[in-house]
Amino acid sequence: MGIGELAEAADRPRTWSALAIIAVVAAVVAPPLGLVLGIVALVRVRRRRFRGRGLAIAAIVVAGVLCVAIALSAWAWASFTVEYSATSETVSRADG
C-alpha cells in the first residue's frame, strides 16, 4: 500500500459495522445471541476499523443484563413452583 492509497483511505469515511447494529437488535430480542454477536462485532470493529464500537459494547451490556435477569427469573419461578406444589400437596393430604 503506497502513500497515496493511505491518504485516500484516511479521507474515506469509515462505514458502520452491520454486525454491531444487528447485535444491538438481537440483544433485545434474543439476549444470548445478542451477547455472542456483540462480542464478535467488537472484535471485527477493532480489526477492520469499522465504526460501531459503542454499539457492540452496548449490545454486550444489554444482552448480559437481560441474560442475568432471565436466569434470575427462571430460578425464582422454579423455586416458587416447587414450594407451591409442596404446599398444595400438604394441604390436599390434610383435606383428604
Residue 8 lies in a domain: no
Residue 55 lies in a domain: yes
Contact status, residue 59 vs residue 26, Cβ threshold 8 Å: yes
Count of domains in the chain?
Answer: 1
Phi, psi at residue 17, to the nearest 5°?
-80, 115
Residue 57 lies in a domain: yes
Give the CA dihedral 16, 52, 56, 53, nearest 10 degrees: 150
Residue 81 lies in a domain: yes
Model pLDDT, residue 85:
66
Q: pLDDT tens digits for 79-93?
A: 888 766 666 555 555
Residue 29 lies in a domain: yes
Residue 5 lies in a domain: no
Contact status, residue 41 vs residue 63, Cβ threshold 8 Å: no
Q: Which residues contact 64 (CB under 8 A, 6 or more apart)?
A: 31, 35
Model pLDDT, residue 54:
96
Domain that holds residue 82: 15-95
Residue 6 lies in a domain: no
Residue 4 lies in a domain: no
Amino acid code (one letter) for 94? A
Q: pLDDT tens digits for 9-64?
A: 566 668 999 999 999 999 999 999 999 999 999 999 999 889 999 999 999 999 99
pTM of the model as a whole? 0.73
Give the 3-state secondary structure of residue 53. helix
Model pLDDT, residue 81:
82
